[in-house]
Amino acid sequence: MSDAKRPLTAEDLTQIEVYSDPQHAPNGDAYAFVSTSINKDNKYESQLYTQKLTDSEPRQWTFDEDAKNCNPRFSPDGQHLVFQSTRSGVPQLWLAHTDGGEARQLTTFKNGAVNPSWSKDGNQIIFSARLEKDDNVQEQKEHTKDEKKKEAEDKAKEPIVINRLKHKANGSGFRDEKRTQIIQYNLASEQFIQLTHGDADYDYEDISPDGSLILFSANLDADEDSSLTNDLFLLHTDTKGMEKLTNGKGSYSNASFSPKGDKIACFGNEFAYAGATQDELFVFDLTTKARTCLSESIDMPLGDMMIGDTRMGQSTTGPVWSGSGDALFFIGTDHGATGLYQADLQGGIAVLYKDNNHVFGFSYNDKSESFVLGISTPTNPCNFYQLKDGKLARLTNANAEFLQEVALSEPETITVEAEDGFEIQGWILHPIDFNENEKYPFILEIHGGPHAMYGQTFFHEMQLLAAKGYVVLYTNPRGSHGYGQEFVTACRGDYGGKDYSDLMQAVDYALKNYDFIDQDRLGVTGGSYGGFMTNWIVGHTNRFKAAVTQRSISNWLSFYGVSDIGYFFTEWELGENLLDDPKKLWDFSPLKYAKAVDTPLLIVHGEEDLRCPIEQGEQLFITLKHLKKQVEFVRFPGASHELSRSGEPLMRIERLHHICRWFEKYL
């Protein structure tokens, strides 16, 4: 390590700026984006920036302390920017002139207004809002702080009446009677028109070039409460008539009209492999009603499947139409990296940009025929680049001072052959101040999902462990995305089987090929599915001397009934529901093997986790404690399943301190 650089710390989370959502100006000479950081009060803050492509630095557009400004969208003539901001208390829409001046508030909806988009003529703004059944969009009034406080106090005193299967969702809590509706705002008349009204959640996708059709996605099944489909629909703006575009057998999203309005592109699948099904790229011809799959020639998940712990804010992943309408652009996930791809309407696929890094979003401009790419690497959280004529040019220099100050470890890629021939990709991080003549403790990191992917992106937690002097191994065992459909579905019905073997063989490979690893000081950690696997590992081997299980699953029998996804996830992933074969679910449960656990185990869990509820951690703790095992339980108040990624900053930092403390104590 250079004398000028210091080791990374847990508190360095507060030093990192995270860029997202690049949006080209219509003329192609500038773009806007969102920068999210943690301010001096340890709160998240998001500000908008703009940058001319000829300028060396971006210009800050918003300056609201403690506010989250996001979703910047240029008007078609480039003269205005509509965006979403919490500066008034809840997310509302604001409009600013691109020449400068104060932004004007457009909406005062009681429950907020989000995700603005322009009609092609620039006369309308379409957005989404949560509404009660009888709400009048012309009479919406945002509550004052006192009104919000009283409403919250009154609600806390009322019982919650539940009559739906889908009655809760991780991150948002118990569902109420509000539904997401699509609203249109006329800039000339300053009037709102509610375009959808049913007892369903309607997600706006796009508006046709002539403004006659609204494209949206929704689950309008008669038995919507038990169905997991998401169909595409067309709403005629004149008659308000609707027509269904898809067949009710799958899930479709990211849909948009072609420049001429005669076709629609989208991502989608029909659950051929349940939740492990890779999306395909489809085009619907509105004249012939034919559906064409353009991605048959590639065995790769579409979109961004990369996992990280500093990625905040949404970004476009495609599909995006070319200006001529004869091609589509999208991000694809492949072997630990993501890249930008192009598909023609005959199904030909070309790589426009791919390297050993993480393309997390992009914006395309048909006038300049260029892209703005958001890219993260293992040693750089984020930057924007212009891609034009195949050449990449950096536009920003985010986190420059921070990166000059801290020492980071560059990962080394490894490939391990599994017992049945699958190739398992992984990465080794060397400790900071590495000396090949020394022996170092080792930590295996296991990702969640399981249908997700580790790879070539910045990961604060991994770098922190390397800074603490650990060799870090992270891999993509079977079940991970990025290696084809057969690979991603291979763990279903076999949790704790060959996926476990993949991980153990990767550890064996590391011990065999890196003699600086101290085989007597091995640790393991993971969250969600990675937490399940950590629990499984310590119940099936004593080779690890310390383990930290995070937001984990310990008992599939109870998970079925307490998780917001348990009622379908157990069948999708394990092959059985609770009443069909409870013995099988118990056999898959780490809790069954608690007597065999001798590894000191730290259990980390969020109190408000509705995906893997805290009772999963409680059951494991009580059982191990009753058995007189070395176990400790750390509960994080108010934290959901997203604690490590977007939880309260101080909670995230404290979580990292507990992980490091446990490994320091036992390794």
Buried b (16+ CB within 10 A) or exposed e, 190-201: eebeebbeeeeb
Give the bridge partners for 49, in sequence order: 33, 60
Instruction: For residue 3, count other CB atoms closer than 10 A to its CB.
Output: 5
CA–CA distance, 375 with 388 (Å, rounded to integer) = 15
Distance of CA 192 to the CA centre of its chain: 32
Catalytic residue among 20, 217, 528, 589: 528
CA–CA distance, 626 with 624 (Å, rounded to integer) = 5
Q: Is 641 known to be catalytic?
A: yes
Contacting residues for 94 by C-beta, under 8 A, at least 6 apart: 82, 83, 84, 85, 87, 103, 104, 105, 106
Q: Is 605 known to be catalytic?
A: no
Q: What angle do CA 621, 624, 630 make, to 5 degrees?
A: 95
Backbone angle region of 445, left / alpha / beta, with phi > 0 → left and psi within -120 to 50 → alpha? beta
SS3 content of the chain, % helix, strand, coil (to 5): 20, 35, 45
Buried b (16+ CB within 10 A) or exposed e, 630-659: ebbbbebeebbbbbbebbbbebbbebbebb
Closest to 569 (Cα-Cα) out of 613, 503, 618: 613
Give the bridge partners for 386, in sequence order: 372, 393
Closest to 429 (Cα-Cα) out of 529, 530, 516: 516
Q: What is the DSSP string of 219-252?
A: ---TTTTT---BEEEEEETTT--EEE-S-SSSEE
Instruction: For residue 504, count other CB atoms closer than 10 A to its CB.
Output: 16
Q: Which helix (H) or strand (E) holds 568?
A: helix 566-574
Catalytic residue among 46, 217, 641, 644: 641
At position 276, the amino acid (one-letter code) is: A
CA–CA distance, 181 with 132 (Å, rounded to integer) = 10
Closest to 552 (Cα-Cα) out of 539, 568, 571, 567: 539
Residue ranges in 322-433 assigned as alpha helix (H): 400-405
Beta strands in 573-665 (DSSP E): 601-606, 631-636
361 by DSSP, 3-state: which?
A: strand
Buried b (16+ CB within 10 A) or exposed e, 473-502: bbbbbbbbbbbbbebbbbbbebbbebbbbb
Distance of CA 313 to the CA centre of its chain: 9
Name the burial class of residue 378, with classes exposed (0-12), middle (13-18) and buried (19+) by CB atoms within 10 angstroms of its CB.
buried
Positions annotated as catalytic residues are: 528, 641
